[in-house]
Amino acid sequence: MSTPQTQKAPPVFKRSRTKIWIRTGILAVFGTLFGMVLYHDIDSGAFHWQWGLPVFLICVPLGFWMRKLVPMQVYPASRHVTLSFDRVYFALIVFLVIIKAVVGNMLHATVLADVIMCVILGLMVGRLSGICVRVHDLRPEDTSQ
């Protein structure tokens, strides 16, 4: 079933560009908070970047693959793509943040909490990158030129 060319443009908050900027802001907040904690733990000798970097690098491709789970819709007439809420990714990140908090604050397992932070950051960076690539690939070409 093809999408009609006269389809109305989606509301601004549903458009991919807005949602990508929101996701970028969330990544910046998590990245800053987790980065400061990781820096503190590395500086104190409780954690080594050589442990976190491989975990981060393994999780980036996994996050990039998760871009396929994001429901998207293309609007050819207005040249927009909309993104829908991804419950699987949201549940995974919330679960990991809760586990990180429990492991770090209640069990005082700093190294494991730092590894979980590297997993979260890797998934977030990979997924955001994947969404940007997928939106770029889905965006209809401008045929008016």
CB atoms within 10 A of CB 96: 15
- pLDDT by residue (tens digit) across 89-139? 999 999 999 999 999 999 999 999 999 999 999 999 999 999 888 888 876
**Facing residues of 22 across strands?**
none
Q: What does the alpha-carbon distance between residue 45 and residue 43 come to, in Å, rounded to a whole number?
A: 5
> How much is the pTM?
0.83
User: Where residue 4 falls among pLDDT bands split at 50, 70, 90?
Assistant: very low
- pLDDT by residue (tens digit) across 7-30? 666 666 566 778 888 889 999 999
User: Where residue 2 falls among pLDDT bands split at 50, 70, 90?
Assistant: very low
